[in-house]
Amino acid sequence: MSQRALIRVAFGFGALLASSDAFGQACPLPKRMDFRVEGVIRRDIRGFTQGLEVRGDKLFESTGALAGGTRLTTIDPKTGKVTVLADFGRSFFGEGLTILHDQIYQLSWQEHAAFVYDLNGKVVRRMDNPRDGWGLTNDGTSLIATDGGDRLYFVNPANFSLQRAVQVRAGNEPVASLNELENVDGKIYANIFTTWEIVRIDPKTGCVEARADLEPLWKRMSADEHTYIDSDSNFVLNGIAYDAKTKLFYVTGKSWRYIFTGRFVDAN
């Protein structure tokens, strides 16, 4: 079975669990939302996208140590031009990224480190992270991180100390494999690793309010892109950014050539 077929199965199984009434209803069952594409950016250099965020007129990106290595980059949404701010090669495996108070925060995967940079990519300091590093966002005060499990961790940006954690659930079923994150109007959007699914979470309760299947993006890619993505099972959907000025989302995948812009809309 191809990776893409496995992803479809995983999405269907997750939806089945979420719709089952065999479990207690600690959270309302998630609604369905659609992603309506409004534009496509074709980047000039691929990156193994692990974190993505809008800042001003640029996208800031963290990449992992595959298909090009761990880097901090910026991407021009108008041209797709990628500018490398810092290249760390394989010295560590870059993961989630967020920007808070004019500083870039980047997680590492299994090195148990969180790095802080200025907006030019210069290292300011390093913090210890007792968990694996996956996704990262912020709420204006705290950093919000994931470790591949079913929890959102709220941590102090000064020292990465844990403030609180919340379990993410769809209905009464825990939702694991939470990966790249984006905080939008007080809600957390999260990729579910190895699937085409993005969920919207209430960070106060951990309840998944809505879930979207982004597999229709596949049909918008070229045959060459299909061949490239199918060449490695790691090249999955991962990357969510949001521009508060335009109200547009940016979504992409690991080593994808394309970044799609659009809006999430609750389905009727």
Task: Give me the residue spans of the domains in the chain.
Answer: 3-261
Comparing C-alpha atoms, which of 227, 230, 250 is closest to residue 240? 250
pLDDT in tens, 207-258: 999 999 999 999 999 999 999 999 999 999 999 999 999 999 999 999 999 9
Work out the pLDDT band at 25, boundaries 50, 70, 90. low
pLDDT score of 18 more than 70: no
Work out the pLDDT band at 12, boundaries 50, 70, 90. very low
d(CA 143, CA 206): 16
CATH class of 3-261: mainly beta
pLDDT in tens, 60-112: 999 999 888 999 999 999 999 999 999 999 999 999 999 999 999 999 999 99
Work out the pLDDT band at 13, boundaries 50, 70, 90. very low
Q: What predicted TM-score, i.e. pTM, was given to this entire model?
A: 0.90
* Residue of higher predicted confidence among 126 and 267: 126
The helix (H) or strand (E) run that includes residue 123 is strand 123-128
Could you tell me the two tokens for 84?
């490398």
pLDDT score of 16 more than 80: no
pLDDT at site 20: 34
